[in-house]
Amino acid sequence: MARIVERDALWEMNVVASVIDGGSVAAAARALRLTPSAVSKQLARVEQRLGVRLIERTTRRLRPTAAGLRYREHAVRLLRNLSDAEDDVRADSRVPRGLVRVTAPTLFGQEVVAPVLARFLLRFPEVEVELILDDAFVDLVKERIDVAVRVASQLPPSGLLARKVGDIEYWLVASPAYLERRAVPARPSDLSVHACLDLAHAPDRGHWRMTEGGRAQVVDVSGPLVSTSLPALHNAALEGLGIAQIPRYLAQRPIDEGRLVRVLPNAVLPGRFAFALHAAGALAPARVRELSRFLLAELPERTSPGARGRARSKRKT
């Protein structure tokens, strides 16, 4: 168990070292901006507490004892270590460096967050990132998480600083082969006779909601596959099994490559938002503040190309 140190011990060490280095109480008093009487009292207090003479006093001069010289050596080392420790920690508020623990949902983390983090690390080479992919809302304090990226329609209260860093669009997609077999839906109501691949935990499972031409619609759908995994639905759509609701960030590339086709492109599906959360606010280390700013700058374009600059809201949840 660590020994409890007197509250003023470090300051008293500074006083003793200043007396020895200055050669007199008066010189130490000037350096410390104290009165000579105050310096003498503190020196006497240290000697009384330790039970040993640190400085021999004569009418002409002060001379440190062997114990005093050892005490000064320890004092200088401790004071230097304290100064170095404060400089080191203070630098965290100015220079992005050190480890940042980041959590994100598995799919969004793999497809969107990881590439952005790679660019961040290239810009700030003194920073290291540990990326934890987890679809659960982990406790930031308990798990020592610095930044959490979360995908939701809205966030529950948490007391954390939250920034919206992206709008996540969902598209209806199917493979060209499927659309050749079953024809292309012309209106939302046509989905009721198609094979629709559904997300098991979606709030609109079996009842897809969308808006087309300013008119909100709910379409009852069914299909051969329900899954808790978006990648599973995405892969099933690629194989021609049916129509799926897929985030734009996942659907864009296979659409560009001709492996998927966007169905009902004028229909707007309920979207979600990406949020970056962290604690501490203005007292967060520079590495955390810079990463939050970087996510705010980069994620909008990754989640919804052309949307850079729209995701600027900041609030405490």
Give me the residue spans of the domains in the chain: 9-91, 98-169+272-316, 170-263
**pLDDT at residue 317 is higher than 70:** no
**pLDDT at residue 121 is higher than 50:** yes
* This model's pTM is above 0.85: no
Within 8 A by CB and 6+ apart from 246, the residues are 170, 171, 173, 230, 233, 234, 237
Examine domains 98-169+272-316 and 170-263 and report if their fold is the same: yes
Q: State which CATH number among 3.40.190.290, 3.30.450.40, 3.40.190.80, 3.40.190.10 fits the domain covering 170-263.
A: 3.40.190.290
pLDDT at 130: 96
**pLDDT at residue 301 is higher than 80:** yes
Least confident of 2-6, 37-41, 170-174, 223-227: 2-6
Residue of 59 and 121 predicted with greater confidence: 121
pLDDT digits (tens, 9 = 90+) for 219-270: 999 999 999 888 999 999 999 999 999 999 999 999 999 999 999 999 999 9
Whole-number percent of the chain with pLDDT over 70: 89
pLDDT at 153: 82
Mean predicted lDDT score pLDDT of the chain: 86
Distances (CA, A) of 81 to 4, 196, 266, 269: 18, 66, 65, 59
pLDDT at 174: 98
**pLDDT at residue 314 is higher than 80:** no
Band (pLDDT 50/70/90 cuts) for residue 1 is: very low
Q: Strand order of the sheet with strand 272-278?
A: 127-133, 98-104, 147-152, 272-278, 161-168, 314-316
Residue 92 phi/psi, 5-degree rounding, is -60, -25
**pLDDT at residue 315 is higher than 60:** no
Band (pLDDT 50/70/90 cuts) for residue 286 is: confident
pLDDT digits (tens, 9 = 90+) for 174-195: 999 999 999 899 999 999 999 9
Its CATH class, for the domain covering 98-169+272-316, is alpha beta
pLDDT at 108: 93
pLDDT at 137: 78
CA 199 – CA 227 distance, rounded (Å)? 5
Least confident of 17-26, 64-73, 305-314: 305-314
Classify the C-alpha dihedral 305-310-313-317 as positive or negative: negative
pLDDT digits (tens, 9 = 90+) for 53-71: 999 877 667 888 999 899 8
pLDDT at 203: 85
Band (pLDDT 50/70/90 cuts) for residue 2 is: very low
Classify 171 as helix, strand or coil: strand
Band (pLDDT 50/70/90 cuts) for residue 93 is: low
Its CATH class, for the domain covering 9-91, is mainly alpha
Residue 147 phi/psi, 5-degree rounding, is -135, 130
pLDDT digits (tens, 9 = 90+) for 145-166: 999 999 888 877 777 788 888 8
pLDDT at 310: 44
